[in-house]
Structure 1
Amino acid sequence: MTTSTNEQPAMQGKVTVDMSISLDGYIAGPNDGPENPLGDGGGRLHKWVYDLASWREQQGLDGGKTNRDSEIVAESTENVGAVVMGRRMFSNGDGPWGDDPFEGHWGDNPPFGVPVFVITHYEREPLEMDGGTTFTFVTDGIEHALKQAKAAAGDQDVEIVGGANTVQQFVAAGLVDEIQLHVSPVILGDGIRLFESLGSEPIELERTRVIDSSDVTHLRFQIT
């Protein structure tokens, strides 16, 4: 019996980070919580996206602007097959879930439309929502969460959507392939920084794209 040598290895997507950020490096303002998920002033970081047609479509809304920014938002989600987030991104909380656990900030029909893996210290049954989003709660670390996400995504990308500590863990562990930042023209001065606690060794990046508009600057990097 012979084995074919023409079989191609299965294609595998990238692991990406895609986030809006202030000029001074914050992704949320201070005093974040379940009722204030982006912190004080943090909503300003996403002002550029709210009127875009592609973002509005993801939220089940009509209308909006169709421009280069809108194209970038559509492009950033079109190949995402699974999402990973931390507990604070999901609920801005910690500790046991309690008898009536919070179901996230996105309502009954979250905009993800793909499996979402939430990294937490506390077990919880999967949460099935409308529109194809199921939140699965992973208690054994980032590597296991990524393994499950890659299995769910197949040959599509896995996106790490936050919060900051979760992104830091994945970057520090060398598990991220690409980072895209949308730099809003604002200095928050306080809040949650994206790139802290990464250790003392430099992390080299290759800049692969810069796109400027009147409301935001889009930067994309490959981690080398």
Structure 2
Amino acid sequence: MSEVRVHNLSISLDGFATGEGQALEAPFGHAGERLHEWLVGTRFFHAEDNLSGGTQGADNGFAVQHNPGIGAEIMGAGKFGPPGWQDDPDWKGWWGPNPPFHTPTFILTHRPRPSIEMEGGTTYHFLDATPAEAVAQAREAAAGADVRIGGGPTVVRDFLAEGLIDYMHVAQVPILLGRGVRLWDGLESLEQTYTIEPVSTPTGITHLTFTAKR
């Protein structure tokens, strides 16, 4: 069976994966881009944006695992758009006409709308579904490839709580946010169900991988 994976999910030292006050002008709230500066500096990110340069060290080694083998994406309403996007019938995500997913992409929302076909192979499907139901639909769409849980932290936490994630990569960034949405709340004793391996890098990022014990 295909795996369910999380890649390049950045959190602060105090566990926040996004800041407070998300808005159209501030997709990550008061955190700004601080959680993702490590990723923006990698060769992987530069290649994705058709730019030259970027580092090729350990951070890049983790970053490049983001896309291979992925056949479908699942994300929450908070990642797809700012608060209130459901009231805008023309909203098609943050990423423009050619989003970076290039797969069927499932948006979890209590207010579904018709699917939207974008450029580059991305089709948005809007689901009011449980995590298990969403995984089942995404696996069918992925046709044997893996399913990526794209976030935000609430969605990842819900899928972890139900034991649906096979592999997760978290990048712990050496900053303190103090407020926002935390990843770890309510996830007691994950070490009992996942093998956890940390890797420290010269940039100060600690990469944590979680592999399900099956």
The two structures have a TM-score, normalised by structure 2, of: 0.89
| Residue 208 of structure 1: how far off its partner (Å) | 4.0
Contact 1:83/1:114 (8 A) holds in 2: yes
The structure with the largest helix share of the pair is 2
The residue type paired with residue 63 of structure 2 is V
Q: Which runs of 5+ in 2 are unaligned?
A: none
Q: How many residues align?
A: 210
Whether 1:170 and 2:163 are equivalent positions in the alignment is no
> What CA deviation, in whole Å up to 9, does each residue of 1:110-166 have, x standing for no partner?
111221111111121111112211111112322221111111223322111111221
Query: Which residue of the other structure, out of 199, 210, 214, is the alignment partner of 1:210?
Result: 199
Q: Which runs of 5+ in 1 are unaligned?
A: 1-11
- List, as ranges, runs of 4+ consecutive aligned residues in structure 1 with deviation greater than 6 Å: none
Structure 2 distance, partners of 1:177, 1:83, is: 15
Q: 1:88 to 1:99 in 2, by over 3 A?
A: closer
The two structures have a TM-score, normalised by structure 1, of: 0.85
Contact 1:120/1:137 (8 A) holds in 2: yes
Whether 1:62 and 2:49 are equivalent positions in the alignment is no
Contact 1:87/1:94 (8 A) holds in 2: no
Task: Tell me whether 204-213 or 29-38 shows the greater mean CA deviation.
Answer: 204-213
Which residue matches 1:148? 137
| Residue 209 of structure 1: how far off its partner (Å) | 5.3
Which residue matches 2:96? 107
| Residue 24 of structure 1: how far off its partner (Å) | 0.9
Whether 1:36 and 2:26 are equivalent positions in the alignment is yes
| Residue 47 of structure 1: how far off its partner (Å) | 0.5
> What CA deviation, in whole Å up to 9, does each residue of 1:175-209 have, x standing for no partner?
111221111111111111112244xx533221245
> What CA deviation, in whole Å up to 9, does each residue of 1:74-100 have, x standing for no partner?
1232122211001111113258x2353
Whether 1:139 and 2:128 are equivalent positions in the alignment is yes
**Pair member with larger Rg:** 1
**Percent pairwise identity:** 36
